[in-house]
Structure 1
């Protein structure tokens, strides 16, 4: 399905099934999922512009339907998922790689030809709908918590896809997890996923002090920062001395912003997380497979209901990923 400029809903387009070329494979797409970037792209608020008439959504999963000449990584019938950046295989992020929906067609389609190197194998314990929830949120969460381990405290924010994966991955790495949420009804879910303590950020606006109290005055060694300007002040307050903030999102428009004096006083490290490479995703998937981690899926829509999925994703109260079954 194409996004016609910045208009919603999608426009359904019928085309012939493509054939894979040299080094390419044809994927029968079985599911796709939405991310925060999707409405931002459609509304023109994403840092990189979207070319008109692009097929939507960067995250997808399916099975290999055909293999082109000299393609050797996968065989017909193999289950695969997309990588967020189709040409970033590993190494340092030195320039913006190509991205789905901005310069390449996305995954909201029944069949898709891609370079075989732009795919990863799906862990055996996951279905297609679950696999489609992985490419963006999982690798982002993995790079955000990478390096944490036994004896560390990781602080997460909210119940979006990245936040929930961050809780699960941090626990899998052996870290203690403190989570914040503005909805008391979501406390039980965060605890079920492995959070050792959950703080109601709406009831306690100065939740940084609560994180310190919950950790015996130590604070968080690593913060998965999603709110941006609206939450960064409390994240610094919650931070342990010489702790690290992994800046993932900028979801909050209003707030005190970054206090450089407070940041310097904690001798903190601030790192931005540009999603991740194929190698990063494969590293995360090894942990997912070993611990049989499942993504949290809020709701699954049928392909013909893609517009309803878009509306549901944009509505408040969602927990986890919104997936489209193809």
Structure 2
């Protein structure tokens, strides 16, 4: 390797990203890969972490969990990967496969350990999977958190079938990835947004029924009308406390709700328990997924030719501007930061 130092940006204190700095490039130990990071993308989780909303995390540290990377050096004992391979780190570095368990929930890339807002990173080979062919680095960088959350919600947990109805909220990274995966499975998609412009763009991506929830505050009634009074098989719930009750009302008998976000805040949810019981609903919290889930998703993306939707691209020196843009919540799709 010719370069002896790489670049990084660290959280200096809660809410503040420091300037771009140089620091030594790490060397992989046995079982590890040295990765060159080409791009990362921002998730709501990253914003919360940067602002100090997750207790117990070290400061200073390098944030961001998403990454598109290339293998630069292969540590001893690794046969699965070679120099030049395009890879994606998993959000949960120790969650290889199987059901969620306490011992796989930590560390998270960018939380307990330095993340992807830097040019070089050493990780265990078991913590990464091959990236799907046919995508560029900006697109690959959107997959590790938002897309995997959508995949686990739609494919793994709800097991959506052809002809079923899926309700998606908004046009962020999770919702647009869930739109793509639901359409891959032959499902009908109802999408809500407060913006007619964003609804029109979602229609171009395959959304079947569009609901402006500002013009139609009782959007569960609109979902019921669009489904002949039955309701949706799956609602991917990103809003949190203010919208969970609506999601329950919009779901059909025996339906599934994937609770994956709290964009409206952490306040206590209005929870119509009797309706959950009478409808026999499954309400399942989703926090990203395993490396096995990530690998399966990447193979499906490769076979189906899915291209993630990117709203804006920033460079490393302007990463703080990317964070500010994310906080405005005006984006359609993902906000990417190019590293290399």
TM-score range, shorter chain: over 0.9
Question: Which position in structure 1 is the counterpart of 2:63?
Answer: 56
Hey, which bits of structure 1, 4+ residues long, moved more than 4 A? none
What 5-or-longer segments of structure 2 have no aligned partner?
Answer: 1-8
What is aligned with 2:307?
294
Contact 2:19–2:317 (CA under 8 A) maintained in structure 1 = no
Counterparts of 1:162-311 in structure 2, within 5 Å, are 162-253=174-265, 257-311=270-324
| Pair 1:136 & 2:136 matched | no
Q: Kindly indicate whether the alpha-carbon contact (under 8 Å) linking 1:60 and 1:132 is maintained by their aligned counterparts in 2.
A: yes
TM-score, with length taken from structure 2: 0.92
2:107 is aligned with 1:98: yes
- Output the CA distance in 2 between the equivalents of 1:102 and 1:303: 19
- Verify the 8 A CA contact 1:231 1:255 in the aligned structure 2: no
Distance 1:195 1:255 in 2: 31
Instruction: State TM-score, norm by structure 1.
Output: 0.96
Match of 1:86 in 2: 93
Asked whether the equivalents of residues 155 and 222 of structure 1 are also in contact (C-alpha less than 8 Å), the reply is: yes
Taking the aligned partners of 2:41 and 2:201, their CA distance within structure 1 comes to 21
**Who is 2:135 aligned against?**
126
> Shift of residue 255 of structure 1?
8.5
Give CA-to-partner distance per residue, 1:256-304, whole Å, 9 cap, x none: 7111122222221111112100001111112211111111111011111
CA shift at 1:160, angstroms? 0.8
Contact preservation (8 Å) 2:313, 2:336: yes
Counterpart residue number, 1:36: 44
Distance (whole Å) between structure 2 residues aligned to residue 67 and residue 111 of structure 1:
13
Q: Does 1:160 align with 2:166?
A: no
SS in 1 for 2:276: helix
Query: Alignment partner of 1:139: what SS?
Result: helix
Measure, in 1, the Cα distance between the counterparts of 2:313 and 2:119.
16
3-state SS of paired residue (1:55): coil
How far apart, CA to CA, are the structure 1 residues paired with 2:200 and 2:303? 24
Contact 2:20 2:317 in 1 (8 A): no
The 2-side partners of 1:312 and 1:22 are apart by 40
Alignment partners' CA distance in 1, 2:48 and 2:116: 17
Cα deviations across residues 192-218 of structure 1 (Å, max 9, x unaligned)?
221111111111110001001111222
Rounded to whole Å, the distance in 2 between the matches of 1:101 and 1:110 is 14
Counterpart-to-counterpart distance in 2, 1:16 and 1:235? 49
Q: 1:75: Cα distance to partner?
A: 0.8
How many residue pairs get matched?
Answer: 325
